[in-house]
């Protein structure tokens, strides 16, 4: 009897999960493995990429949103042994273990870089809104030294995501993208379109409401989809207890169900999660160290929410779980480094189009400008004060009498809008405008949508999944805005706001299956509509949400309606770095925070400190943009000292335009990323990989924003490399050490890697003011280096036809020789003659040195030339 029971126990994993091996079939595009329940397909997508799909009872998600680019199936072969099946590609091998049913992924050297945890592949039957579905779950082994980044943009402050618990939903200030990058040189796209839990914390603690409450903080005005409203801030307190059987690291999760204004979790009297803002995402997770024994927990939240608190022990496992799935589906990307992996991801999901040159200049935004005259006069003031600007933004409510969200100017304050937009253009400024997808159903413009049944039922949101809704929406935007001269789109609340698809029915069916993907289709509608209407203007979309593949639609994301304190500022840095690891290269924040300290902001020197530090960091974001709620955000509103500090950073941003625009070309052509966590360039330096508040801007400049008040020095870790140079002074340092950098009030620590070549242009008031016919070329010696100077027409898509120029620069350290290669390519009115002033950087040659540094002047006429430099 005992023998029989033991034999049955051995069969439990296969019986429970239905994954006993039966047979396999080699097909033209895959290796198809029959299990006792369902089919496990291994599908090569490229030499470095494989897709894993497990389908039960023939159910699968038939719609394909992410992988638009059809690529030829790479060559692959298979090998069967008594214990395993191997699918082999030139750069990647997948091994199926017949006894456990699990998969191992091996690189070209035959080394395992990723493994499924045996027995963790699950498809559990369930229902959502009466429709059959599965709970799809897969766990992967994760060694202790692994660093995991990505998943989008979150406000929980976590940089390394290993063991962190997260709930992937789309809400204001949170962007959920189920793509994960590992320091072990792989990426995973968890290919689900609905709600996903990352490292789900399943040990839920019973919470009891303290009826005495926490009192009321009064009502406040906040921005909502229906305009400015007063929202109650009354809080409730909940208490609970839980016990642990060992000391160790634990992942805790707070889930409040809906947006809130307070994340407060107190364990044993210590605040472990503590964040306040007028808007906060529904959930937050954190890793904490706890001892064995009983623990008390206290949660404070808005009285209208019902909190859940849960935990799980930290372990060497990473888990994805999607409760509303039709099948299990994920994609593994392998490579030698992050650029190669992200490049492979974009190769299959769509390349990043070039943004217009002006998009890399300064964006001036506030909530809000009140008339066309207000916009024009503001730009004039920027010009008079020699404050560079390329874009001015009109936030909401320009629609006035026409109804909420209606994309049409109320003539009361915006008469003849094409005239004020032309004035802006004459001032060499571009015009961006806020548009929404929840157009007032009572408005005249909404009637066409209603007649065509283009709203999601019982929802204020357009059913953007419907191709007719996409066409209609673009036609409305074109007629009322784009045809008047609008240059750029601010697509607000594209989540749609606050997870609004849950429980709804869309053109594709139940919104629960697609609730992460709405922003992808909003961006698609505008990008494709504008390109078809006028391909001479590159699409530039600033949008609050995103999903995998959205990089192909000319989008820029920002971090939503955030607060303004130092803690919030720090959270934006790690949020941006993780977002950029999902293949989305263009990102920004509301410099100074969206919610600000009222009238005090204009005179409070403590706020000026953080505002200037944020502005300095913003100058080294892919997109450089100011914004603020109920605030006059123009630099001069904060006094001469702040204005001068901002002007200094603006001037630096514009001088670096040749460097930044060339880096943008590497994004579009080579799969690169501008805002680069240090793991991208220094993966073999463990200390560098850990840095959550330092990053590379392009591949040459290390940025270390100051994130504390009142600092004049700042500790900076310089990764192991062939030397570093302080951008401001030219002083050199060895790599692999921590240094104290000058952090005087008008400086952000910036270091240039040895072996770098940095082109500098003139100070400009807008990106079209000066042609790049005279550039300073700074050489930072210490190692061989190279740089490609990219130029095109700055707008339109002719670069896709090969109409651009490249000038290659190479620095040879051994001979101290700079080689400037022959000009490659051409476009209309390209520069044939130019002057290069070549400077070999040494101590005393900083970026803002008052004296012009000694230089070798070169008249360049497109032919290769070699220059030997000496100190």
Neighbours of 612 (CB within 10 A): 24
Assess whether 561 carries a catalytic annotation: yes
User: Quick check: helix, strand or coil at residue 220?
Assistant: strand
Q: What is the dihedral of CA 273, 675, 538, 776, to 10 degrees?
A: 140
| Spatial separation of the C-alpha atoms in residues 771 and 740, rounded to whole Å | 38
- Beta-strand pair 805-812/785-791: antiparallel
* Residue among 787, 686, 674, 782 nearest 736 (CA): 686
Assess whether 848 carries a catalytic annotation: no
CA angle 709, 714, 715 (to 5 degrees): 130
| Spatial separation of the C-alpha atoms in residues 87 and 272, rounded to whole Å | 46
Contact present, 473 and 465 (Cβ < 8 Å): no
Assess whether 492 carries a catalytic annotation: yes
The residues that bridge with 334 in the sheet, in sequence order, are 186
User: Quick check: helix, strand or coil at residue 522?
Assistant: helix
Residue with tokens 């799909």: 53
* Residue among 807, 811, 831 nearest 821 (CA): 807
851: burial class by Cβ within 10 Å (0-12, 13-18, 19+)? exposed
DSSP assignment letter at 406? -
The residues that bridge with 274 in the sheet, in sequence order, are 264
DSSP assignment letter at 512? G
Cα 33 → chain centroid: 36
CA angle 695, 701, 707 (to 5 degrees): 45
Hey, what are 401's tokens?
A: 């009498």
- Beta-strand pair 328-334/186-190: antiparallel
| Cis, bond preceding 496 (omega within 30 deg of 0) | yes
**Helix pair angle (605-618, 640-655), 10° resolution:** 10
Residue with tokens 């200390």: 687
Q: Catalytic pick from 423, 561, 681, 776?
A: 561
| Spatial separation of the C-alpha atoms in residues 275 and 563, rounded to whole Å | 10
Q: Catalytic pick from 41, 329, 495, 776?
A: 495
DSSP assignment letter at 679? G
| Spatial separation of the C-alpha atoms in residues 574 and 627, rounded to whole Å | 20
| Cis, bond preceding 94 (omega within 30 deg of 0) | no
Backbone angles phi, psi at 265, to 5 degrees: -125, 120
Size of the chain in residues? 871
Residue with tokens 């339109």: 796
Hey, what are 402's tokens?
A: 């026409």
Contact present, 675 and 365 (Cβ < 8 Å): no
505-539 in b/e burial notation, b at 16+ Cβ within 10 A?
bbbbebbbbbbbbbbbbbbbbbbebbbeeeeebbb
| Spatial separation of the C-alpha atoms in residues 580 and 572, rounded to whole Å | 12
The residues that bridge with 836 in the sheet, in sequence order, are 775, 858
Active site residues: 492, 495, 561
């Amino acid at each position: 009897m005992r023998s029989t029971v033991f034999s049955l126990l051995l069969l439990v994993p296969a019986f429970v999960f239905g994954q006993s091996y039966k047979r396999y079939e080699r097909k033209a595009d895959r290796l198809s493995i029959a299990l006792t329940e369902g089919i496990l397909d291994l599908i090569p997508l490229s030499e470095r990429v494989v897709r894993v799909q497990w389908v039960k009872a023939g159910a699968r998600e038939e719609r394909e949103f992410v992988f638009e680019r059809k690529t030829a199936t790479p060559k692959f072969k298979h090998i069967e042994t008594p214990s395993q099946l191997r699918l082999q590609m030139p750069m990647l091998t997948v091994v199926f273990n017949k006894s456990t049913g699990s998969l191992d992924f091996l690189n070209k050297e035959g080394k395992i870089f990723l493994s499924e945890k045996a027995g963790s592949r699950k498809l559990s039957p369930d229902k959502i809104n009466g429709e059959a579905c599965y709970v799809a779950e897969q766990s992967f082994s994760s060694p202790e030294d692994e660093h995991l980044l990505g998943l989008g943009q979150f406000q929980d402050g976590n940089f390394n995501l290993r063991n962190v618990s997260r709930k992937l939903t789309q809400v204001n200030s949170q962007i959920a993208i189920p793509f994960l990058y590992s320091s072990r040189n792989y990426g995973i796209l968890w290919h689900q379109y609905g709600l996903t839990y990352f490292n789900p914390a399943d040990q839920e603690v019973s919470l009891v409401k303290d009826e005495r409450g926490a009192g009321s903080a009064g009502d406040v005005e906040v921005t909502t989809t229906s305009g400015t409203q007063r929202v109650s801030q009354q809080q409730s307190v909940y208490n609970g207890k839980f016990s642990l059987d060992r000391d160790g690291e634990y992942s805790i999760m707070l889930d409040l169900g809906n947006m809130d204004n307070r994340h407060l979790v107190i364990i044993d009297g210590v605040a472990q999660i503590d964040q306040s803002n007028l808007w906060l995402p529904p959930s937050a997770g954190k890793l904490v160290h706890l001892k064995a024994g009983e623990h008390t927990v206290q949660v404070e939240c808005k009285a209208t929410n019902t909190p859940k608190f849960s935990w799980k022990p930290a372990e060497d496992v990473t888990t994805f779980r999607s409760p509303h799935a039709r099948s299990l589906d994920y994609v593994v990307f392998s490579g030698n480094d992050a650029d190669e992996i992200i490049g492979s991801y974009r190769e299959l999901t769509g390349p990043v189009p070039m943004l217009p040159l002006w998009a890399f200049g300064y964006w001036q935004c506030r909530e809000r400008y009140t008339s066309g005259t207000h916009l024009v006069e503001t730009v004039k003031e920027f010009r008079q004060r020699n404050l560079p600007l390329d874009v001015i933004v009109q936030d909401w409510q320009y629609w006035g009498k026409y109804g909420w969200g209606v994309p049409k100017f109320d003539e009361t304050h915006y008469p003849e809008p094409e005239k004020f937009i032309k004035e802006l253009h004459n001032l060499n400024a571009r015009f961006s405008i806020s548009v929404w997808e929840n157009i007032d159903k009572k408005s005249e413009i909404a009637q066409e949508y209603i007649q065509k049944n283009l709203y999601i039922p019982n929802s204020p949101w357009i059913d953007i999944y419907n191709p007719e809704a996409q066409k209609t929406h673009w036609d409305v935007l074109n007629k009322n805005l784009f045809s008047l001269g609008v240059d750029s789109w601010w697509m607000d609340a594209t989540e749609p706001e606050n997870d609004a698809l849950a429980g709804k029915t869309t053109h594709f069916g139940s919104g629960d299956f697609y609730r992460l993907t709405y922003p992808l289709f909003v961006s698609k509608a505008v990008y494709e509509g504008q390109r078809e209407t006028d391909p001479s203007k590159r699409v530039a979309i600033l949008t609050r949400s995103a999903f995998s593949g959205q990089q192909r639609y000319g989008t820029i994301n920002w971090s939503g309606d955030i607060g303004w304190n130092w803690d919030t500022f720090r959270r934006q840095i790690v949020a941006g770095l993780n977002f950029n690891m999902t293949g989305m290269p263009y990102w920004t924040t509301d410099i100074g925070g969206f919610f600000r300290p009222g009238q005090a902001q204009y005179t409070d020197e403590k706020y000026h400190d953080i505002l200037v530090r944020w502005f300095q960091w913003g100058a080294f974001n892919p997109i450089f943009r100011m914004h603020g709620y109920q605030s006059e955000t123009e630099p001069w509103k904060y006094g001469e000292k702040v204005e001068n500090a901002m002007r200094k950073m603006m001037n630096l941003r514009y001088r670096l335009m040749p460097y930044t625009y060339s880096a943008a070309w590497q994004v579009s052509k080579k799969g690169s990323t501008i805002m680069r966590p240090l793991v991208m360039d220094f993966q073999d330096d463990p200390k560098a990989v850990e840095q959550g508040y330092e990053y590379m801007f392009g591949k040459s400049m290390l940025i270390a924003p100051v994130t504390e008040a009142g600092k004049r020095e700042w500790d900076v870790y310089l990764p192991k490399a062939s030397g570093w140079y302080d951008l401001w002074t030219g002083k050199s340092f060895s790599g692999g050490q921590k240094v104290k950098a000058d952090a005087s009030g008008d400086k952000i620590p910036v270091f240039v890697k040895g072996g770098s070549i940095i082109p500098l242009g003139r100070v400009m008031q807008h990106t079209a003011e000066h042609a790049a016919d005279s550039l300073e070329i700074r050489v930072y010696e210490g190692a061989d280096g190279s740089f490609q100077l990219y130029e095109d027409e700055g707008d339109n898509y002719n670069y896709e036809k090969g109409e651009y120029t490249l000038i290659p620069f190479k620095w040879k350290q051994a001979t101290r020789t700079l080689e400037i290669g022959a000009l490659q390519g051409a476009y209309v009115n390209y520069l044939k003659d130019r002057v290069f002033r070549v400077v070999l950087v040494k101590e005393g040659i900083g970026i803002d040195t008052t004296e012009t540094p000694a230089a070798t002047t070169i008249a360049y006429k497109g032919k290769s030339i070699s220059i030997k430099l000496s100190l």
